[in-house]
Amino acid sequence: MGRALTLVELRGITKYGEMTTLHMGSKTWIMLNSKRVAGEIISKRGAITNERTRMPMSHEVLSRNSRTLLAPLNRWHEPRRLLSSLMLTGSALQRYGEIQELESNQLMAEYILQPELWFRHNYRYANSVIHRIATGAKSHIENQDLKNLQQVTTVFLDSIGSSIVDWFPLLHSIPRPLQFWRSYWEERAQWTHEVLKAWWDPVREQVENGTANPSFVRDTLLNPESKYQGTDEETMYLGMTLIEAGSDTSRMVLNTLAMAAVHYPEAWAKARQEVDSICDTPAGLRLPLMSDLKRMPYCCAIVKELLRWRPIFPYPPDHTLTQDLDLEGYFFPKGTSMVMNLIAIGDECEDPELFRPERWLNGHEADITHNLWQFGGGRRICVGYRLAQTGIFVNVARFAMCFDYEATGKLNSLDLNHETLEEPFPIRVKPRGTKYKQLILDEAERAGLLDVARNGRTPAGEHNGLE
């Protein structure tokens, strides 16, 4: 819905009840303002609420009909099946956890060696994790290419619903010479394609010349024996959308973590105490691991609270009805769009404006989707939610153990400035003490990542280190 509703308006419409009807353009939207109705409609009736409304500009033109986030059902099922097999199996998640730990080793060292670029390190970490998973190789992309990919994501997200044509799709059917707005979107579509292609071509070439490591791209997308029948364009967008989405959302949450650590030092102290009790004992000092997740409920609660307190998306894409729905005396005709109001849903708690991880200490801390809707819901739930959880968790625990944050200027916790390519807000990150600094450097050295962290990029050709 683009920028159609502000955060204030998203909170304000709850005065009309658990559901609010909005007539916007030629479309009817039902804002779902509570967990209860979101569960009833999105989860329990997922079989009829998994379509997307048509977005001619943001999906058909800008994304060339190839981004799965906005894809209609007939173009969504096959990519979703492939991504689910990649992301949701237990063996895959264990393997990816090892990748996340390795990349986190480098991230910690980068924070020591170049603390002023903490925000850039967050993006590099998130990008390199998903790049390894998708391509089998550690990213060796230059900083400008990283910035370009981040900007591609920002342009796409800002595009959703920002064109009048997305609100009145029939305008897309008028003769092309009369579509005076189209050149604007086609220029951005071409630039997006060029940025994605600059990332994709080296990967494709490695597959073609037989030097690629085992990966989703090599063994599924570009494998001639695979059942996947997408065009070259669709294949590139599927592979790159995985990298694009996996890079940016984790970056934003890690940036939010820095803001929360400055504003709520008492929560940071509790997380540190929990981690120390397990990882800094007379038996020895070590960095937290993925295997510690269920032993660190407070750190898990911080992950959930970060997503609730400052959700990455105020509302995810709509869920459009594929048939009529009768619910509790209300009739919703086929084609009605259901939209989860994540601001209102996140406010369904005591003192919602406060960052309070304790609200999640209910025995379900390690279940990232329990009572939390920030990854969407129903059949369209984000396929990478488990990967996101583990990647955020391991860094929450490690940052809590090893680093202190302090403000170096005026901060506004409502202004996270996620779209910027530079420092989003003024903070300083410094190691907690000498022994923690040395622990980080020793771990990076042991993993062969210290020189990489020091030089700011990965040598070309280095693979993921996990045979």
In tens, the pLDDT along 451-466 reads: 999 986 544 444 443 3
Place of tokens 């509570």: 34
Strands (E), 400-441: 403-407, 427-431
Longest CA pairwise span in the chain (Å): 75
For 143-173, the pLDDT digits (tens) are 788 889 989 999 999 999 899 999 999 999 9
Cβ atoms of 365 and 304 within 8 Å: the answer is yes
Give the distance, in angstroms, between the CA of residue 329 and the centroid of all CA atoms in the same chain: 36
2 domain-assigned? no
Instruction: Please state, rounded to an integer, the average pLDDT across all residues of the chain.
Output: 92
465 domain-assigned? no
**pLDDT value for 225:** 84
305 domain-assigned? yes
Cβ atoms of 2 and 161 within 8 Å: the answer is yes
457 domain-assigned? no
Cβ atoms of 21 and 28 within 8 Å: the answer is yes
Determine how β-strand 27-32 pairs with β-strand 280-281: unpaired
Of 175, 195, 125, nearest in space to 391 by CA: 125
For 372-418, the pLDDT digits (tens) are 999 999 999 999 999 999 999 999 999 999 999 999 999 999 999 99
Of 23, 64, 81, nearest in space to 335 by CA: 23
User: What φ, ψ does residue 19 adopt, rounded to 5°?
Assistant: -130, 140
The torsion of the CA quartet 230, 231, 233, 234, rounded to 10 degrees, works out to -20
Question: Domain range holding 117?
Answer: 7-452
pTM score, whole prediction: 0.92
* Residue 349 counted as an annotated binding residue: no
| CA dist list (Å): 393 to 63, 65, 224, 355 | 32, 34, 37, 17
**pLDDT value for 70:** 95
Span 117-136, mean pLDDT? 94
Determine how β-strand 403-407 pairs with β-strand 427-431: antiparallel
- Residue 41: CB atoms within 10 Å: 24
Place of tokens 């001639």: 224
Whether pLDDT at 108 is above 70: yes
**pLDDT value for 229:** 83
Three-state DSSP state, 365: coil
**pLDDT value for 465:** 38
**Whole-number CA gyration radius for the chain:** 22
Of 182, 165, 103, nearest in space to 444 by CA: 103
**pLDDT value for 17:** 94
Whether pLDDT at 174 is above 90: yes
Place of tokens 């990232």: 368
For 433-450, the pLDDT digits (tens) are 999 999 999 999 999 999
Whether pLDDT at 100 is above 80: yes
For 41-64, the pLDDT digits (tens) are 999 999 999 999 999 999 999 999
What are the respective helix, strand and coil percentages of the chain, to the nearest 5?
A: 55, 10, 35
**pLDDT value for 467:** 34
What percent of the chain has a predicted confidence (pLDDT) above 70?
A: 95
Whether pLDDT at 267 is above 70: yes
Separation of alpha carbons 266 and 389, rounded Å: 22
Separation of alpha carbons 449 and 445, rounded Å: 6
200 domain-assigned? yes
Three-state DSSP state, 378: helix
> Any residues with CB less than 8 A from the CB of 466 and at least 6 apart, and which?
95, 98, 99, 102
Cβ atoms of 129 and 99 within 8 Å: the answer is yes
Burial of 7 (0-12, 13-18, 19+ CB in 10 A): exposed
**pLDDT value for 3:** 54
Question: Structural domain tally of the chain?
Answer: 1
380 DSSP assignment: G
Q: Which residues of 416-429 are buried (b: 16+ CB within 10 A; e: fewer)?
A: bebeeeebbbebeb
Whether pLDDT at 283 is above 60: yes
Of 123, 118, 132, nearest in space to 150 by CA: 123
463 domain-assigned? no
267 domain-assigned? yes
Q: How confident is the model at residue 356 (pLDDT cuts 50, 70, 90)?
A: very high
Q: How confident is the model at residue 246 (pLDDT cuts 50, 70, 90)?
A: confident
162 DSSP assignment: T
For residue 159 the two structure tokens come to: 């595009």
Q: Tell me the CATH number at 75.
A: 1.10.630.10
**pLDDT value for 463:** 41
Cβ atoms of 397 and 422 within 8 Å: the answer is no
Q: 385-402 and 232-263 helices cross at what angle (nearest 10)?
A: 30
For residue 280 the two structure tokens come to: 């800094």
Whether pLDDT at 90 is above 90: no
Amino acid identity, residue 277? Answer: S
Does residue 101 or residue 90 have the better pLDDT?
A: 101
Span 170-194, mean pLDDT? 96
Overall size of the chain counted in residues: 467
For residue 185 the two structure tokens come to: 């979107």
170 domain-assigned? yes
